[in-house]
Copies of this chain bind each other. A is one copy, B any other.
């Protein structure tokens, strides 16, 4: 009996434990285009924490790598498996366990889809706020493991601001509770936030206690076109005072891609800002007069929430419009917000010198940009060049006081890019902390940072 057969026997016949290579292949990677992966030895579609505990205890004993995944919506290769690994998928653990309308918290299994929770709590006039672009198919456990962001985070913060507590299975198989369901607690070290964003390298999150809020008012929406990205980015820093619940920027390259697909009237725009106000919807006119100080070409707004989908259409089309042009490599860096314009200028130079199209859009209010490199499908030389440019974009951000990832995570595609912004001491502290939780280094080894 080989190891996998032995584990299957331990898990019993009730477990969905898959070794068919036709099926395991589809659990071997996330959405990152160029990260290494190989079908794992087996996939557990976990039904409960106990099955995960059994699997980890066994894997720990036999030093078998374990890769955890939610929906596989990640963009950094964080869920990519190696040939010697076991993949644990949380997709079947998708129960909303409790919605507590008095304490304004929800308890969910980690495999619940983000939007499913928000849709459910809407019935009570409540909301789960974090809104990654993947929210209609990504899982809350994956959101926590990567500390996912989204458009509303400029006002409401990223996933880490919305998690109170978690149930976690350690590499040893022990099941523990971290954080506290109360709104405040300083009783232990903040182990909860150590897990959020740890990308499956410290343990497996099986359950989450999440903040709910009274559903915000539908927002007013403003769209403003500027002569240049410098103007739009400068205006963005001045718009934060209106407490936007969305503040997005789109560059000229991306606008041209959108125009080529669906003409929306942005032929002469150098850049576009989109803003939503859910707290002070009546301030759009005042916001527009701020924009006029920065070479505004044109601006429109509507306090009628029904118009918002129309007005933000260009932002929703940004990535699909670039995807139409070829194969894409979507980057993710975070910057000081007053460095956005300089960042875009440098990336434009890199685009010119490399000959690659690079469209830039992102969360202006957070300084979180998504430069997207486009190259011809099937052109291997261009693909190799795009990967090199992907890293150079990260380096530009780091030079400007920015960081390698704002919301997608480090995964496997950036794990060697972080060293230029982290001291060797901090890198070693990470390694030692990992050893505390995972002494055999079985959990997603090599992801997040080089071991």
A residues within 8 Å of B by Cβ?
102-104, 125, 146-147, 149, 153, 157-158, 160-161, 170, 174, 176-178, 180-191, 193-194, 196-198, 202, 214, 237, 240-241, 243, 279, 334-338, 363, 365-368, 401-410, 418, 421-423, 425-426, 429-430, 432-433, 436-437, 448-449
Q: A177-B423, A182-B402, A190-B190 are in contact. List 17 more A-B contacts (CB 8 A).
A: A102-B237, A103-B237, A146-B186, A157-B161, A160-B193, A161-B161, A176-B426, A183-B337, A183-B366, A184-B403, A186-B407, A187-B418, A187-B422, A189-B197, A189-B198, A189-B202, A214-B240
Question: How many copies of the polypeptide does the oligomer hold?
Answer: 2
Does B190 contact A194, Cβ atoms closer than 8 Å? Answer: yes
Contact A197/B191 with A181-B401, A214-B241 known, Cβ cut-off 8 Å: no
CB distance from A208 to the nearest CB of B (A): 16
Q: CA A214 – CA B242 in complex, angstroms?
A: 8
Does B103 contact A188, Cβ atoms closer than 8 Å? Answer: no
Contact A334/B404 with A188-B430, A197-B190 known, Cβ cut-off 8 Å: no
Contact A147/B186 with A176-B423, A176-B426 known, Cβ cut-off 8 Å: yes
Contact A160/B190 with A176-B423, A436-B436, A437-B429 known, Cβ cut-off 8 Å: yes
Contact A187/B425 with A182-B402, A336-B181 known, Cβ cut-off 8 Å: no
Contact A184/B102 with A193-B194, A426-B191 known, Cβ cut-off 8 Å: no
CB distance from A21 to the nearest CB of B (A): 33
Does B426 contact A432, Cβ atoms closer than 8 Å? Answer: no
Does B104 contact A405, Cβ atoms closer than 8 Å? Answer: no
Residue of B nearest to A170 (CB): B425
Q: Give 26 pairs: A residue, B residue, CB < 8 Å, sorted on A.
A: A102-B336, A147-B186, A147-B190, A157-B161, A158-B184, A160-B193, A176-B429, A182-B335, A182-B402, A182-B406, A183-B367, A184-B334, A184-B407, A185-B403, A185-B405, A186-B406, A187-B410, A188-B422, A188-B426, A189-B202, A189-B430, A190-B190, A190-B194, A191-B426, A193-B194, A429-B437
Q: CA A405 – CA B182 in complex, angstroms?
A: 10
> Chain B contacts of A198 at CB under 8 A?
189-190
CB distance from A190 to the nearest CB of B (A): 4
Q: CA A367 – CA B422 in complex, angstroms?
A: 38
> Chain B contacts of A241 at CB under 8 A?
125, 214
> Chain B contacts of A193 at CB under 8 A?
160, 190, 193-194
Does A185 contact B334, Cβ atoms closer than 8 Å? Answer: yes
CB distance from A181 to the nearest CB of B (A): 7
Contact A184/B103 with A170-B425, A198-B189 known, Cβ cut-off 8 Å: no
Does B401 contact A187, Cβ atoms closer than 8 Å? Answer: no
Residue of B nearest to A426 (CB): B176
> Chain B contacts of A432 at CB under 8 A?
436
Does B430 contact A433, Cβ atoms closer than 8 Å? Answer: no
Contact A403/B337 with A161-B157, A426-B176 known, Cβ cut-off 8 Å: no
